[in-house]
Each structure stands twice: as structure tokens, then as C-alpha cells.
């Protein structure tokens, strides 16, 4: 995986697949994965919309399965690195903060907050001791640095995981500039280059957007903090959310789009 930009431009597309937040629900993801493998076509692209990890109990295994899907598609369809895109979601952002915990001004409070938001499940999936993290977070920079070094080495020991966390994009878009892919939202008053962390923390009333954002006629996102929605309603809106809350819901949504921002298909795991 190689990433030279915060933004990925998808060029010469046939169709674009997008996978909403997975949240470590491995069984549900395997259904989505099999559907995509059976229906993927030459010149298709694929975007993972963030939050592959977190909340569920199989973060490490789910991420490995997502990387395996990437590898299968690249091998079977002769894809390039830029044809398979991984976006940063809130869960990836929080996990990256944990990997650099020694730089935090208040590490114990940071750990407590991260674990309240599902990062503890990801740590457990890498066979790290949760109680130990809380204790070390109170012991000073040297102890914390030793622990984060251990965590970084553990992540690096799993094929493709270090590369995944090192090469996450903030957003992706087709070269037609008609369809935009994000994790959670954008600040519609700012250009893409000035979004800061709106991509994974969201923007007020983003779901109610009723007009194009710059040239983008459709914005596809992988997460929204709301209740279940009818898929037919999703098709009618500028903001297409490939997610059915609440967080306890194990369902995952994948969508198929063209570069003119048309929704060709939506698939929901059972």
C-alpha cells in the first residue's frame, strides 16, 4: 500500500464499490466480501469507508480479511494500489492516537475515553492486556513509550496491518468530481483541503444537505450516528449513508456506484 496524498482520485472507473463501517463484525463482512468477489468487474475500483476496526471482538481478524480482499482483487483483476482505497474512520483515528500515547498530555484520561468508544476491543484482538494499559498510563513517559513500542511491534507482526495504518486516506473521489467518498462528513463551508478532522468526527446537520457540495452531486459516507433508515430513502438523498445504526447492529452495507454519482446497487449483509 502506498499513499502520497490525503485524498485519493479514482481514475478511468467502470464502477466504484464502497463498503460502510464494519466495526469488526467479521461474519457480516465475509458476506459482503463474497458478494463483491462474485460481482467485481474489470476496471472497477473499491473504497473502504473507514471503521474497519473497533467495537466488535474481531478487529485484527476483520482487518486481515479486508486486506485479503484487497489482495484477491488486485491479483484477479490486475488492479493498481490506487484502485483499492482505505479511508480513515474515527476508530482508526483513535487507534492511531493510542499508538502514540506517550505524546499525550493526559494519557490516563485519553485511554479511558478511547476505551469507552470501543478501542479496547481492538487492543484485546491483538492479545494486549487491557488492565495493563490503564496502569501504564499513570506511570510516566518512559513506561508508556515502552508499551506503545510493544503495541506497534505487535501490529507490525501481522501481515499488512502496519501498512494499513500508515496509508489511510482522508477522502476519495472520482476524477469526474461528481461523487465523493468520506467516513462521516465534510464541512460544506470549506474546501476539501481545509476539513481538518470533519471527515471522521462529522459536521453539524450534514445529513440534511440538500444541494451539491461544490461539484459533488453525491457524497457517500460509511457512518452516521442515527437510527436505521430505509434503503430507498438513501437513494434519494445527496448524502448516501452506507450504515444502519445503532452501533449494536451487525449489518454492513456495500454500495455500487458509477463515476456520474448514480447508485447502481446496494447490498446489506444478513
Per-residue pLDDT at 200: 96
Task: Say what the pLDDT of residue 228 is.
Answer: 52
**In this predicted model, what pLDDT tens digit does every residue of 160-199 receive, in sequence order?**
999 999 999 999 999 999 999 999 999 999 999 999 899 9
Q: Inform me whether the pLDDT recorded for 57 exceeds 90.
A: yes
- Interstrand relation of 45-48 and 16-19 (parallel, antiparallel or unpaired): parallel
Report the 10 Å Cβ neighbour count for 270.
Answer: 7
Cα→Cα distances 153→188, 197, 198, Å = 39, 27, 30
- The alpha helices in the chain, defined as continuous H runs, are 26-39, 59-77, 90-99, 107-116, 119-125, 130-136, 141-156, 161-166, 198-201, 231-236
Q: Considering Cα of 200, then 198, then 235, then 180, what sign does the dihedral take?
A: negative
Q: Burial letters for 45-63: b for 16+ Cβ neighbours within 10 Å, e otherwise? A: bbbbbbbbbbbbebbbebb
Residue 3 has pLDDT above 70, yes or no: no
pLDDT at 208: 85
Identify the pLDDT of residue 226.
72
- pLDDT above 90 for 120: yes
Other CB atoms within a 10 A radius of the CB of residue 241 amount to: 26
Instruction: Name which residue leads in pLDDT, 83 or 237.
Output: 83
Q: Which band of pLDDT confidence, cut at 50, 70 and 90, is reported for residue 247?
A: low
Cell of 267: 447490498
DSSP lists the bridge partners of residue 8 as: 172
Average model confidence (pLDDT) for the chain? 93
Residue 155 confidence (pLDDT) above 70: yes
More confidently predicted of 18 and 227: 18
Structure confidence at residue 29 as a pLDDT band (50, 70, 90): very high
According to the model, what pLDDT value does residue 205 have? 83
Domains of the chain: 7-88+170-268 (3.60.21.10), 92-156 (no CATH)
Report the DSSP beta bridge partners of residue 241.
221
CA dihedral 241, 247, 252, 255 (to 10 degrees): 10
Q: Render pLDDT for 128-145 as a digit per residue (tens, 0 to 9).
A: 999 999 999 999 999 999
Q: What is the pLDDT of residue 8?
A: 97
β-pairing verdict for 171-174 and 179-182: antiparallel
Q: Measure the CA–CA gap between 250 and 118, rounded to whole angstroms.
A: 15
62-66, 71-75, 125-129, 194-198: least confidently modelled range: 194-198
Task: Say if residue 2's pLDDT is above 70.
Answer: no
Above 70 in pLDDT, residue 224? Answer: yes
pTM, to two decimals: 0.95
Amino acid at each position: 500500500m502506498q499513499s502520497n496524498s490525503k485524498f485519493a482520485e479514482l481514475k478511468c472507473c467502470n464502477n466504484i464499490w464502497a463498503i460502510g463501517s464494519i466495526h469488526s463484525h467479521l461474519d457480516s463482512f465475509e458476506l459482503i466480501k463474497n458478494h463483491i468477489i462474485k460481482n467485481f468487474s474489470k476496471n472497477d475500483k473499491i473504497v473502504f469507508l473507514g471503521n474497519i476496526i473497533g467495537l466488535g471482538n474481531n478487529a485484527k481478524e476483520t482487518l486481515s480479511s479486508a486486506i485479503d480482499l484487497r489482495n484477491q482483487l488486485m491479483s484477479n483483476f490486475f488492479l493498481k494500489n490506487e484502485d483499492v482505497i482505505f479511508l480513515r474512520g474515527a476508530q482508526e483515528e483513535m487507534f492511531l492516537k493510542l499508538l502514540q500515547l506517550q505524546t499525550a498530555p493526559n494519557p490516563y484520561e485519553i485511554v479511558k475515553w478511547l476505551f469507552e468508544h470501543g478501542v479496547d476491543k481492538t487492543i484485546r484482538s491483538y492479545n494486549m492486556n487491557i488492565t495493563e494499559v490503564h496502569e501504564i498510563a499513570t506511570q510516566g513517559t518512559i513506561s508508556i513509550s515502552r508499551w506503545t513500542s510493544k503495541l506497534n511491534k505487535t501490529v507490525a507482526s501481522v501481515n499488512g496491518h502496519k501498512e494499513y495504518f500508515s496509508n489511510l486516506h482522508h477522502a476519495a473521489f472520482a476524477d469526474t468530481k461528481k461523487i465523493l467518498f468520506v467516513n462521516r462528513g465534510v464541512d460544506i463551508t470549506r474546501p476539501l483541503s481545509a476539513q481538518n478532522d470533519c471527515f471522521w468526527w462529522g459536521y453539524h446537520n450534514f445529513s440534511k444537505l440538500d444541494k451539491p457540495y461544490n461539484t459533488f452531486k453525491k457524497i457517500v459516507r460509511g457512518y452516521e450516528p442515527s437510527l436505521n433508515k430505509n434503503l430507498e430513502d438513501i437513494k434519494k438523498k445527496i448524502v448516501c449513508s452506507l450504515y444502519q445504526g445503532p452501533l449494536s447492529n451487525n449489518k454492513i452495507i456495500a454500495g455500487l456506484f458509477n463515476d456520474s454519482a448514480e447508485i447502481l446497487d446496494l447490498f446489506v449483509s444478513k
